[in-house]
Structure 1
């Protein structure tokens, strides 16, 4: 038991230090996953909003058209149509109310259906910044969802007009996919918490509201949190909200994957502890057998000495025991009354349990 205690005294501090290092590593890995989630969301936002800026550049160029400035909508329609031909883009010129003046998705001269008025927050944004990025909306006469970017253009007379270009949400998904790391799920949400695009199940989710308990945690410019998704999977999520579009971008990873380093560390700690315990027991048993065997042999010889019986030589690797046993044979080679009395006193003390032989 003393040997096992000595071994434990040497091993336990090392084991605790190793456990501390492993736990710190696991916590660091968890923090790294949180930072990776936020960074991934931000990277996706840069890619998507680069596309939105390109669309705004197209609008800025079209807004310089002399035909639009002079109110020549037929020529303006033709110029806009040339810009978006063979693409999924649609250019619209409208007022702040319900009236469309031009729509490249509908032939010029056709009756243009009324549209919803510009929302108050978009009016405020276009008044202060000169442009806005819309929330996701369903295209007229279809179930396809689109988003648009719009700028203010001066009208020949009267109130300013809104020139916009829209793309389907599948375009947003296709643009962001190269920035989505393997194993991650990335989503884009508008101001109202509806899905604009999603790296997985896009067609099923685009235009649908996000899970309320998830969306309500998207607070501030960026951060991370844990929540369940629509499939019920526990997620580690990082988010970034853009000041350009006011959309938010999220990067999600199953919490089980993010916590895997912690569980691996705990398994390693348990394995190291169990292995150390088994090795300690084996070493203690092996060394202890030699030590206790030598002790028993020495005690037997001390008892034989006390009873004036023949004392056999003791061969042991414990040199202190060997020295005690050798003293008996030295006494035989040269008798000494003092040595004899010392050995008898040693035997008496051993029998009474007041000391060691």
Structure 2
């Protein structure tokens, strides 16, 4: 009795069965490989953030050392006997000799507690009565009587700089405030003490979020606030943090920041996300190519094996039909044990 139409519709070629078996072995491996690739991409992203954070830490250490060096020199000058005896002319001569030896110092100011500048030692002479720039740090010295690293401000000459102030104390009484006015270029030089890879960007911001230094486009961005994306990252609590932002050049970057505890400044390092994306693209291409080759190989093997199995099975069918017609059957020549046994039966 011939098979019904419904039973015939349910029949599946042997080749498809073999291909399903091959896919059954490939799919779990593909899923595991895809999961490993996803974890690899996230690991690469984490590694990029950690590299940026480590670079910021190193730069923060260098910048902090530079600031502390200036504080130490100012404290040594504050202990000068010339200030104790009130010999300000000789003290000015002493500072004039020291000033060229300290990179980054633009001017040294000596002011009384009322904020009046009594001595201004600089390569460019200016009236001693010029008002103090960035008065907040001066008020902080008066209140706390300790060294204070000020914030970026515009001085009498219209140039951007930042002050480092130390108190001059005698028997517990504040006599003067000694200030070194430093250039932003000195901080940029400290930030670039360790060379950054191409397309990485390093910056330094003061406590108010104004940019003091940048490894590229320094002059163009000096004194400007951080872009909104970066400002959101810098607003995170804690001494360190990471996030994703966009640079002035328009590149998407992983950004890590470190805050300096003494000054409240922030040091940042930005790594283009394209570096991680390129590595991920290579990994995906390798994974996709391997998966495509695996599927093609499985399909080819399924075709090859199906032919090696289906032909003997078709020969068995012909032999069975010949036997039914009382003709001598021709047994298939196959190395498959079951087909051999069926043929012999």
TM-score, normalized by the shorter chain, greater than 0.5 = yes
- Distance in 1 between residues matched to 2:296 and 2:171, nearest whole Å: 90
Question: Does 1:94 find its partner at 2:94?
Answer: no
**Bigger radius of gyration, 1 or 2?**
1
Which residue does 2:36 correspond to in 1? 21
Distance 1:122 1:237, change over 3 A: farther
Deviates more, 1:96-105 or 1:61-70: 96-105
Deviates more, 1:290-299 or 1:122-131: 122-131
Which residue does 2:245 correspond to in 1? 227
Among 242, 263, 274, the residue aligned to 1:256: 274
**How much does 1:182 deviate?**
0.9
Which residue does 2:56 correspond to in 1? 41
Which residue does 1:127 correspond to in 2? 143
3-state SS of 1:104 partner: strand
Q: How do 1:1-357 residues align onto structure 2 when only pairs under 5 Å count? A: 1-85=16-100, 88-89=104-105, 90-105=107-122, 111-116=127-132, 119-120=135-136, 123-124=139-140, 127-128=143-144, 130-143=146-159, 145-154=160-169, 160-183=175-198, 184-218=200-234, 219-220=236-237, 221-327=239-345
Distance 1:227 1:118, change over 3 A: closer
**How much does 1:38 deviate?**
1.7
- Distance in 2 between residues matched to 1:229 and 1:236, nearest whole Å: 10
- Distance in 2 between residues matched to 1:207 and 1:112, nearest whole Å: 26
3-state SS of 2:122 partner: coil
**How much does 1:157 deviate?**
11
- Distance in 2 between residues matched to 1:257 and 1:267, nearest whole Å: 16
**How much does 1:282 deviate?**
0.9
Do 1:237 and 1:251's aligned partners in 2 also have CA atoms closer than 8 Å? yes
Aligned positions, number: 325
Deviates more, 1:86-95 or 1:68-77: 86-95
Distance 1:123 1:274, change over 3 A: same
Superposition misfits of 4+ residues, deviation over 4 angstroms: 155-159
Which residue does 1:352 correspond to in 2? none
Q: Which residues of structure 2 form unaligned runs of 5+? A: 1-15
Distance 1:162 1:125, change over 3 A: closer
Do 2:210 and 2:224's aligned partners in 1 also have CA atoms closer than 8 Å? yes
Q: Which residues of structure 1 form unaligned runs of 5+? A: 328-357
TM-score normalised by L of structure 1: 0.83
- Distance in 2 between residues matched to 1:95 and 1:215, nearest whole Å: 37
Deviates more, 1:41-50 or 1:174-183: 174-183
**How much does 1:294 deviate?**
1.4
3-state SS of 1:178 partner: coil
**How much does 1:79 deviate?**
0.8
RMSD across aligned positions (CA): 2.4
